[in-house]
Amino acid sequence: MRIVRFTTGEDPQYGVLTGDVDVHGIPDEGCVVVALNGDPLYVGVHLSSKEYALEDVRLLAPVLPRSKVVGIGKNYAAHAAEMGGEVPPEPLMFLKPNTSVVGPNDPVFYPEQSNEVHYEGELAVVIGRICRDVPREKVADVVHGYTVGNDVTARDLQRGDVQFTRAKGFDSFCPLGPWIETELDVSSLRVQTWLNGDLKQDGSTSDMIFDVPALVAHVTSVMTLLPGDVILTGTPEGVGPMEPGDEVEVFVEGIGSLTNKVVRRD
Ligand code: MG
């Protein structure tokens, strides 16, 4: 099932996207969004009688993290190497504020404090229930689904600051979407990033050093996760700069494509 959050110009609603999505993540013509009654994370999936053609709605970030986005650094060996570092012995955690989240086709604002803003295409895990100390064999019980994320990073600020907070925490630095896929085996999915149509990252989740069950177990051994919280699982090799005017697309096999444009704030 594909869960969307959308607007038709009124208050945001949740919905289920029906119809097929092709191997490139593009919905077939005729896909319909069936509106849900309430937030599925709180009340479950209850279809309403309202339907909209996909082209008549604007998709929003499919989830608003209740408390946090947990990022994982250097979770692909080739990316750790291109960053000039070793693979960490345990998952390397950082936080992005939930105010960094934006949706598909929303602008990513290039901050004036940086001269080097990078894309990082990633698989994103959406948590479905309050949880703590989740053993890896129970992780499936607490995962609502998966979406596509872009862990936008001001690389120059990341190098200069000890903490990642500023470099990864700007408003609009966490595009998520286009929807949440609730039934997906994420053990071996292609993760690609395209910049202005050029392929820049081409990895597989099978190359993660710590897999999704390991990440959820590790994060929840430290902090409680709330419904709607998100874990970004790390990026494959091939990170690089984006400039104002660029269009960045992150594709995760089995989910879809998340596209955003980089703009300088007026
Ligand atoms: Mg990242």
Q: For the segment 47-94, what is each residue's pLDDT rounded down to a tens digit? A: 999 999 999 999 999 999 999 999 999 999 999 999 888 899 999 999
d(CA 223, CA 173): 22
CA of 143 to the centre of ligand 1 (A): 20
Query: Residue 160 pLDDT > 90, yes or no?
Result: yes
d(CA 35, CA 26): 20
CA of 71 to the centre of ligand 1 (A): 6
Cis peptide before 89 (omega within 30 of 0): no
CA of 52 to the centre of ligand 1 (A): 34
Confidence grade of residue 138 (pLDDT, cut at 50, 70, 90): very high
CA of 145 to the centre of ligand 1 (A): 19
Q: Starting at the edge strand that comes first in sequence, how are the strands of the sheet with 107-110 ordered?
A: 107-110, 256-264, 247-252, 190-195, 198-204
Provide the pLDDT for residue 266.
73
CA of 153 to the centre of ligand 1 (A): 8
CA of 208 to the centre of ligand 1 (A): 12
CA of 51 to the centre of ligand 1 (A): 36
CA of 93 to the centre of ligand 1 (A): 10
d(CA 21, CA 149): 18
What amino acid occupies position 83? Answer: M
CA of 232 to the centre of ligand 1 (A): 7
Could you say which architecture CATH assigns to the domain 69-264?
A: Alpha-Beta Complex (3.90)
243-249-251 Cα angle (round to 5)? 150
Domain segments of the chain as ranges: 2-59, 69-264
Strands (E), 39-189: 47-53, 58-60, 69-73, 92-96, 101-102, 107-110, 117-119, 121-127, 143-150, 153-154, 174-181
Contact between 123 and 205 under an 8 Å Cβ cutoff? The reply is yes
CA of 64 to the centre of ligand 1 (A): 19
Which of 143, 144, 237 shows the shortest CA–CA distance to 191?
237
The per-residue pLDDT for range 85-134, each reduced to its tens digit, is: 889 999 999 999 999 999 999 999 999 999 999 999 999 999 999 999 99
The per-residue pLDDT for range 24-51, each reduced to its tens digit, is: 888 988 899 999 999 999 999 999 999 9
Provide the pLDDT for residue 249.
98
34 burial (CB, 10 Å; 0-12 / 13-18 / 19+) is middle
CA of 5 to the centre of ligand 1 (A): 24
The per-residue pLDDT for range 213-238, each reduced to its tens digit, is: 999 999 999 999 999 999 999 999 99
